[in-house]
Structure 1
Amino acid sequence: MDSPVPPRPAEQGPRRRDRHGRGMRGPVAPPQVPLSTSRSESFRDLVRDSVDRLERRWPQLSDVDFLVLEVPETLEDTVPLGSSDPATKDRPARIMVYRRPVEIRTKNRDERALLVHEVVVEQVAELLGLAPESVDPRYGQE
């Protein structure tokens, strides 16, 4: 005589462990911890910090678009770290900082921050027709 198969017990809330018994997967770090920011976000923050520093002294920079691009669009003999385009009637002036070439030339975040600032200062100076030392008196000293 066959015995009837008992009904399956109802699910009792979410599973606490995966099938290997290691627990549920979750984020490595909460979003407010710097570990959870990507390299590109961190680089963008460095550019923004540099621009904020310069805007205090040069308010006209608020009309300039600052862009972070992965690599330059055109291939040349030397790889630029940044470039600038003057304003046209259709768009404001732009300064581009190239993330990958800057990252390749630096070993850590401090070096990267210094190089990003130098690139931004050089491009602002080129755009304004000034010497980098007049844009930021501390240029080249750090």
Structure 2
Amino acid sequence: MQSSHHDSGFTVRLADPDAGRPGAGSASAGAPATGATGAAKGKSFPQRRRNRHGRGLRGELMLPTLPGYRTRSDRFDDLVLDSAQRLHDIWGKPLDGVRFGVDEIPPGLERLVADRTPAPMGSYSPATAEEGPVITLYRRVVEQSCGSREELQDLVHDVVVEYTAEMLGVPPESLDPVYRRRY
């Protein structure tokens, strides 16, 4: 998933869940192959909307206008996007080319648990010759540290501010005036 905003050079890319699956990027993956009977072939059973007898679900279980339509992962991605956009509105040019990512858990979590080390809420990868810097938040770790949606929104923003401040080499309090002042 990639979101480009009106400012040139500022993009936010989040982890694409379909990136690892074969055929996810092909144009014909969404078009069903039809045979002489008109039944969809080539799709697995869970991908078909109706079962082989013509019965089954005819539409979406949850309408897009209802709040339950979006998953927790989607809402978390929106919180990261909002925080990244807020920082970009404040700082502008220094944040051009920075990518913000979301992963489920940090790599090597088993080793951290075995060593009784607290799991990090995010990470910062400096820029390389091929791509710009990447700030990654770990969704499960951040969500488990919060009790409510308001706390989650504040904590996501604080983690984004902390790792962006680490990247820029400035204190987090100077990066965003409301850093840790909402609690």
Q: Does 1:121 align with 2:158?
A: no
Query: Where do 4+ consecutive residues of structure 1 move more than 4 Å?
Result: none
Corresponding position of 1:131: 171
Greater radius of gyration (CA): 1
* Partner secondary structure for residue 136 of structure 2: strand
State which of 49, 64, 78 in structure 1 corresponds to 2:98. Answer: 64
Deviation string for 1:78-134 (max 9, x for gaps)?
A: 200011011011211000000000111112211100000000000000000010001
Displacement, 1:62? 2.9
1:47 alignment counterpart: 80
Taking the aligned partners of 2:155 and 2:132, their CA distance within structure 1 comes to 25
CA distance in 2, matches of 1:87, 1:100: 25
Q: Which ranges of structure 2 fall in alignment gaps of 5 or more residues?
A: 1-56
Alignment-derived partner of residue 91 in structure 1:
131
Instruction: Report the TM-score, using the length of structure 2 for normalisation.
Output: 0.61
Distance 1:61 1:39 in 2: 27
Match of 1:115, SS? helix
CA distance in 1, matches of 2:89, 2:120: 27
Instruction: Please give the per-residue CA displacement for 1:9-65, whole angstroms capped at 9, x wherever unaligned.
Output: xxxxxxxxxxxxxxx775443113221001100100000011111100111223101
Unaligned runs of 5+ in 1: 1-23
Paired positions, count: 120
What amino acid is aligned across from residue 105 of structure 2 in structure 1?
V
Cα distance in structure 2, aligned partners of 1:52 and 1:63: 13
Query: Secondary structure of the residue that 1:68 maps to in structure 2?
Result: strand
Write out aligned runs for 1:96-111 (5 A): 96-111=136-151
Work out the CA distance in 1 between the residues paired with 2:76 and 2:163.
Answer: 17
- Name the aligned partner's letter for residue 57 of structure 1: I
Could you tell me how far apart the structure 2 residues matched to 1:106 and 1:28 are? 29
Q: Percent identity?
A: 45
- CA-based RMSD of the aligned residues comes to 1.7
